Structure 1
Amino acid sequence: MKREFLEGLGLEKEVIDKIMEENGKDINAEKAKATAKDDEIKTLKEQVDTANKEIKSYKDMNIDEIKQSVETWKTTAKEHEKAYEKLKNDTALKDAVRGYDTVDEDVLMKLIDRDSLKFSEDGISGLKEQIEGLKEAKPYLFKSDEGSKPEDDRFNAHTPPNSNGGSVSPMEEAIANVFNE
């Protein structure tokens, strides 16, 4: 509807403005519907194009290549599964070794025969026996118990006798003789 048409009917300017405003609302509502339908049509066209490309790619496929690809993926999946299992076992072993108060965790890990260990959800069987054997064969890899005295005490500091008991050590006597003269 055009403003000139309404002016030709002899309507007042305020009435024409209100009619034009109401007509504009209706037009905008219809434009929104048309835009939504255009978007829907565009989306459906894209989906049809994608489906046609997919169908064409299936026509061009070589079944033998697909079978080979499946086998390759199966092999890759098995390799990744083995790598995951090894990583999981290595992590469990490292965590278990931490509980044995070792001086050098990495060296101890290298000395453990992993092939003879059995990993399960309950723990690692065979590890305790290997650790006990290593404690006997290579005791320097483990921290000593605090309550036990080391066999070789050559490097322990000398503790002088207590001078409160009345006896004087020879060293204290020599020092006293030099400075008390």
Structure 2
Amino acid sequence: MRREFLRGLGVAEDLIDSIINQHHDSLREYREKAEEADNLRSQLETAQQEITARDEQITALKETAGDNEELLNKLKELEEKNAGYDEKFRAQQLNNEVLKLIAKDAINSDQVLKLIDKDAIELDDKGNFVGIEDVVTGFKTDNPHLFQEAKRRGRPAPKGEDNPHEVTKEDFIKMSYTDRAKLHSENPELFNSLVN
């Protein structure tokens, strides 16, 4: 948000600093989430490179192994080690997918990531995680205290019964007697301001 834009809207100079500071504070949360996502992406790329290097070692050993017992043992050892990296890689992928779904509204993403039941999420033949949305949605429902409420953004709520404070004179004129009576009982101050 630029100061010139606010000045163009006729906002007083003393309010511009407050608006700019508030705007920067609201963006800080998203910058932190973006940095966290970049960090996870970097870890994922590193894990993928390690797995690729291990696979290349195993392939090279298979080609040169033949009947040599020592090389076959080395090959078995590297395959077991590679299986561990593969599990780490899948776990990191799962964590990243869960973080994508919770990052925007979790109060503490790391805490939610530790508590969520990742064992209920399965991996299909194509490498996709099955049931992840259901698990995350269920977790959010069961643990609403770990998530912040979605903040309203954009335009205000629509005018009318749900938001009587936004009723204009034109809306009031179009209202039925029942709606006017309801407005009078719920918000007599607004009703009187619209009548006069």
If the TM-score is normalised by the length of the shorter chain, which range does it land in? 0.3 to 0.5
Greater Rg, structure 1 or structure 2? 1
- Structure-1-length-normalised TM-score: 0.39
- Structure-2-length-normalised TM-score: 0.36
